[in-house]
A and B are shown apart, each in its own frame.
Chain A
Amino acid sequence: MNFIKKSMLFFSASVALLNLASCSAIFESEAVSGDIQVKIPVSNKSSDNSTYNEEVVTLKNIESLKEVRGSYAQFYYSPGLNENRLSGISPLAFFIQTAKNIFVPKDMTSLQMSALYYHIQNLTDFSRSVGLLDQKQTKPFEIALNTKVKNKDVVQANNAFYDGRSDAMIFVPYTTEELPIAVNEGIVAHEFFHSIFYKIVFSDLKKNPQSLTQRWSLDTVHGYEKLWKSQLEETVSGTEVVPISDIAKTPKKTTVELYNETLLRGINEGLADFWGWIYTNDSDFLKWSLSEHSLTRTLKKQTIQTYVSVKSILNVVTEAQQLSSQPEEYLSDFIYRVGTPYARFLKELVEIKTKNNSSASENKIQISEKLKEYLVNLSQLSKSLEKNEIISAESLFLFFGGSEDRGVPLDECELVSKYLNSQDSAQKIYECHKDEATSSYWIQKI
């Protein structure tokens, strides 16, 4: 056999073999869909000794494991924003398949995608079950990873936020040595709650052109370390750095407008922290990823149960207007001081209910269902505000403190009373009234 003949024969056989092999391999790797078992780090959900362990969980309704895309979530990598939608490529995920048919992520991005999909799946199912999300809404939650967000020429790191305009959860690069934010299920639940708050409270405000609140930063994205006052700007390229628009472009707000906005942002942050606790059972879920914030944001029971009053908020808002050309950014840490007491209060409420009778999970469901009512009320209240009218900082306590036609047990009413009377130690302003017919109580101003 001469050289050419030998070579031709060999390569014909090789090409035929490779063709067969590659086709079968491609089909097999793309066929991974349905309910998939993956191994990821999850919290043990213990209230006393919470930690994270590697566990096998099920990702439901996966359409393509290659992109970890399914009915619950879909991912973008370093996206831009185009016409209020994320634009760009989907990240590729890599897994090994063990002999027990469990998929194990081969790198950190794949691991974070799997963890996020799993938590969004659980949070979506839970939110639907308590009426906080529409059952009919089937659009997958959009999540942006490794997003380059620029603020004052600095690319931001170690943060996550919900962007209302694109209805997406945004993660910027994580550079510290703690547990990455995308794996911290408390933070994921926190951001997920922002999407609920936005849909129930903020989106309605946006639709109402008469509302005084239309100038509020309704698309504000909520970060842990800093507030992104403005919105993500539109970019054409999916890989370009996404700049934050110039804050100075926003018209100046009145003190009352800024007060209402600050209170709503505070309530949003507080309820989001409560949601993080509901999902993880961990009072310090921040400590795993953002430990420097954990001390001030802990949901552990405090010696003094109090909240930030209207007067205090107005003082800080006025100070912000006087001292800063960007008062919203000036207030970005303060909103957590406003919000944390609400989260602590709701957590205590669940614990009191649990001490009395039923299981913690049943009480979490019950409080979450009531929270939906509160958010609807808050939305209606915000829409109907007159000029110079403010939202009460006590609204959440009063809502859970019962009413004449809907009483609550004494210990729940006393908890509400404790918070409401914390502003003035000399004088009691609120007390619990008993309904003799039902032996239930409601909070009332003296």
Chain B
Amino acid sequence: MKLKLTFIILFFFLGSLVQAKSYELQLYPFGLLSRYQDTVDQQRNFMQYAHYAVQLVYEDWVTGLEYNKSMPSKTGNASLNVDTTQQEFNLIAGYRVYSYQMNLGFNIKPDFNLNAIGLLGGANTTVETTLLGQRDKEVSKTNFIIGAGLQTSLRVSYFICALEGRLVSSREYSPSLTFVGLSKLGVAFSF
């Protein structure tokens, strides 16, 4: 609950900033996040999440919110199965360390940016166990997430795509410190 409240306050704070000058608002409705996770046989597999984000850029500073939801993971059979979904909210802050504008002619000038980012957030997991047709749902405590990484973005007109590599840590993860890869696609507006 506290975590959700923090995000709501932050959202209004970001909204108030938009009213100022020379900002860029980036909306990412399509994103795919992958991170390593331990499996039962002591191997590691990539776990995939749907990723949604909103970012605000002011001069060289970047801030934003993101929501990640794991693809449903179902194990078991018709009589007994376990359905696990993990979700996380993250607050992002970053700094543009490199920027380059290309000129391809025909008034097309793609913007390439490299941002160093840090993130702080919370994650929880919902486990739904179905036993002989009866469902039982449990939600975990919210565990903190902390991480840092690099974000590259390429903006052409209103369209923007980004790639990220992160190192994140949370008690929710196994291993608790893990690598995350992220690709996303969206739109950007300048003010």
- Interface positions of A (Cβ within 8 A of B): 3, 6-7, 10-11, 13-15, 17-18, 21-22, 25-26, 28-29, 39, 41, 51-54, 77-78, 89-94, 96-99, 102, 104-111, 174, 176-180, 183, 288
Contacts and interface: CB of A to CB of B under 8 A. Distances in A.
A25 to B, nearest CB: 3
21 contacts: A3-B97, A6-B97, A10-B148, A11-B148, A14-B116, A18-B146, A21-B144, A21-B177, A25-B173, A26-B176, A39-B138, A77-B42, A89-B42, A90-B42, A96-B124, A98-B141, A99-B141, A106-B127, A108-B76, A179-B80, A180-B77
Contacts of B177: 18, 21-22, 25-26
Contact of A98 (B129, B134, B140, B173): B140
Given A99-B141, A107-B84, A108-B75, A89 B41 contact: yes
Contacts of A7: 97, 116
Interface in B106-149: 116, 118, 124-125, 127, 129, 131-132, 134, 136, 138-141, 144, 146-148
Given A3-B97, A17-B148, A106 B131 contact: no
A52 B169 contact: no
Nearest to B37: A94
A18 B41 contact: no
A178 B38 CA distance: 28
The CB with the most chain B CB atoms within 10 A, among A11, A21, A39, is that of A21
Contacts of B136: 39, 54
Nearest to B173: A25
Contacts of A89: 41-42
B132 A14 contact: no
Interface in B147-183: 147-148, 167, 169-171, 173-177
Interface size class of B (residues with CB under 8 A): 35 or more
B128 to A, nearest CB: 10
Contact of A179 (B79, B146, B173): B79
A25 B178 CA distance: 12
Nearest to A105: B82
B64 to A, nearest CB: 16
B30 interface: no
Nearest to A98: B138
Contact of B170 (A13, A25, A91): A25
Contacts of A10: 95, 97, 116, 118, 148
A106 B79 contact: no
Contacts, number: 144
A177 B79 contact: yes
Interface of B: 38-42, 73, 75-82, 84, 95, 97-98, 116, 118, 124-125, 127, 129, 131-132, 134, 136, 138-141, 144, 146-148, 167, 169-171, 173-177
List 8 tightest A-B contacts by C-beta distance, closest first. A14-B148, A25-B176, A96-B140, A22-B177, A21-B169, A108-B75, A177-B78, A10-B116
Contacts of A15: 148
B38 A92 contact: yes
B129 A111 contact: yes
A98 B141 CA distance: 5
Contact of B82 (A77, A91, A98, A107): A107
B132 A109 contact: no
A56 to B, nearest CB: 10
Contacts of A104: 127, 129, 138, 140
A92 B140 contact: no
A26 B173 CA distance: 10
A11 B80 contact: no
